[in-house]
Structure 1
Amino acid sequence: MIVNTSHFVLKLAETEQERAAAQRLRYRVFVEEMGARPAFDGDVANREVDAFDPYFDHLLLIDTRIEDSENNVVGAYRMMRSETAAQGQGFYGAQEYDLGPIIRSERAAVELGRSCIDPAYRNGIALHLLWQGVADYVLRNRIELLFGVASFAGTDPHDYAQGLSYLHHKHLAPPSLRVRAREACCVGMDIVAAGDIDPLVAVRQIPALIKSYIRLGGWVGQGAYVDRDFNTIDVCLVLDQQRIPAKQRAQLLRGRAA
């Protein structure tokens, strides 16, 4: 566990009550804010839940100033290791991407997903604290590869033509780790030719989470996946933890629990 001595606690969920608090945050962000369609029972319980949740470890960022324990989770991430996926029902991302390159690599991997932060905390250190928690998890479990889908809001790729094209031309994964979007909902990311990209416009279009992966040395897979149930355009990010630049690695490990 990592504790920020002011008012944040970063930890893995240990109880069903803590997991439920994360699912309530996910409901507020993904369903109420972004217009996602709940997988099941979401409208009844005000929780965004799916069949993969029991197989994930759930990283929580808790604001201890909020006395309501059902709603004090202000940031969340979920993480599934490759051995858990192999023993259970596989990776969530396999619904959207052919993850064969990652699986065939036989390297220790973790799937990251459902990253969300309460709107009131998005301009602070919340995302950095979540990444500290991920770094701690990766080191403790000797993870080599990190991957997962991250989203652009909406379902029209042309709204993000510059950003998607920038990712494709500048940060496409090498062939050995190049996962590919499933055919049924795949759209090409090379909407704009490399020479016609305006880097300033492109970077503005890319969500903060995706930019975090790229700053850490991450790549994107081939093609984007249009998820109409979730009202998003998803890209699959792949990160080899050995490629994380020394400066960013030091920043992530600052405050790591012993």
Structure 2
Amino acid sequence: MGSDGALVDHEAGLERDAFDAHCDHLLLIDKAAGDAVVGVYRLLQRAGAEAAGQFYSESEYDLAPLLKSGRNLLELGRSCLDPAYRGGAAMHHLWQGLAQYVEANEIEVLFGVASFHGTDAEALAEPLSLLYHRHRAPEGLRPRAVNYQPMDLMPAEEIDRRRAMLQVPALIKAYLRLGGFVGDGAYVDHAFNTIDVCLIMDTERMCSARKSIYSREVAE
């Protein structure tokens, strides 16, 4: 999407950073396609963040509310699917693996940044305002953007929810369906050509129906 950075290799189609060595990497492998890696999720626990010097999201958000909560945290990042596997069961398989990881490690709060394409906040005024008015995290779990881009760009009564949701990326929609929230303010990342929001999901707040969606087994 036009992103760039010191460790972005456009020719090889690769992106990496200094956090990779401190993370667990959840891989989705298609055995029918010669064991091709077709999906990935990067998982960073507190111990890994301490070894790395911080959580990845701390470059964009003040995570003090989460860090002070005493809860067992897991930062999610680098979610990516091969284009040929998007729109099918692949993402569900990744999330099934994630659910098993969360249970095995007794994770209480999931968080991470997710992106809208582009850096023009006004062009995304309606979806950002929808997130602000309808999906803000509880104050005790609400990180704040360090370079604060307001999300309250439209009055709530002027938002067309259906139209706004059409502009919300699929990954953010999935977190919202599972009971996820967003932090306070967005972050404009010019290097990666995105506007980022911080997503938070308290596993205790997930209702039983959403837990079922999150962790149900898929027939292989």
TM-score bracket relative to the smaller structure: over 0.9
Cα distance in 1 for residues equivalent to 2:6 and 2:78 = 13
Q: Find the partner of 1:207 among 154, 169, 186.
A: 169
Cα distance in 1 for residues equivalent to 2:191 and 2:91 = 25
Q: Deviations over 1:216-236 (max 9, x none)?
A: 111100111011111111000
Question: TM-score w.r.t. structure 2 length?
Answer: 0.94
Deviation at 1:41, TM superposition (A): 5.7
**1:255 partner SS:** coil
Deviates more, 1:89-98 or 1:238-247: 238-247
Q: Which residue of 1 aligns with 2:69?
A: 105
Q: Deviations over 1:206-255 (max 9, x none)?
A: 11110111111111001110111111110000110011121221233223
Deviation at 1:45, TM superposition (A): 4.7
Contact 1:39–1:48 (8 Å) recurs in 2: no
Cα distance in 2 for residues equivalent to 1:239 and 1:158 = 27
Q: Deviations over 1:107-135 (max 9, x none)?
A: 10000011111222111012211111111
The RMSD of aligned alpha carbons is 1.5
Name the structure with the higher helix share. 1
Cα distance in 2 for residues equivalent to 1:246 and 1:39 = 43
Cα distance in 1 for residues equivalent to 2:84 and 2:10 = 23
Contact 1:38–1:49 (8 Å) recurs in 2: no
Deviation at 1:162, TM superposition (A): 1.1
AA aligned to 1:197 is: I
Deviates more, 1:245-254 or 1:156-165: 245-254
Q: Which residue of 2 aligns with 1:252?
A: 214
Cα distance in 1 for residues equivalent to 2:80 and 2:13 = 16
Q: Deviations over 1:157-185 (max 9, x none)?
A: 122211111000001111111100112xx
Identity %: 51
Cα distance in 1 for residues equivalent to 2:120 and 2:78 = 21
Cα distance in 2 for residues equivalent to 1:195 and 1:251 = 31
Cα distance in 2 for residues equivalent to 1:106 and 1:45 = 41
Number of aligned positions between the proteins: 218
**1:59 partner SS:** strand
The answer for unaligned runs of 5 or more in structure 1 is 1-33
Matches within 5 A, 1:111-190: 111-183=75-147, 186-190=148-152
Matches within 5 A, 1:20-31: none
**1:166 partner SS:** helix
Question: TM-score w.r.t. structure 1 length?
Answer: 0.80
**1:124 partner SS:** coil
**1:146 partner SS:** strand
Contact 1:180–1:223 (8 Å) recurs in 2: yes
Contact 1:39–1:49 (8 Å) recurs in 2: no
The answer for unaligned runs of 5 or more in structure 2 is none
Cα distance in 2 for residues equivalent to 1:255 and 1:125 = 12
Contact 1:163–1:206 (8 Å) recurs in 2: yes
Q: Which residue of 1 aligns with 2:42?
A: 78
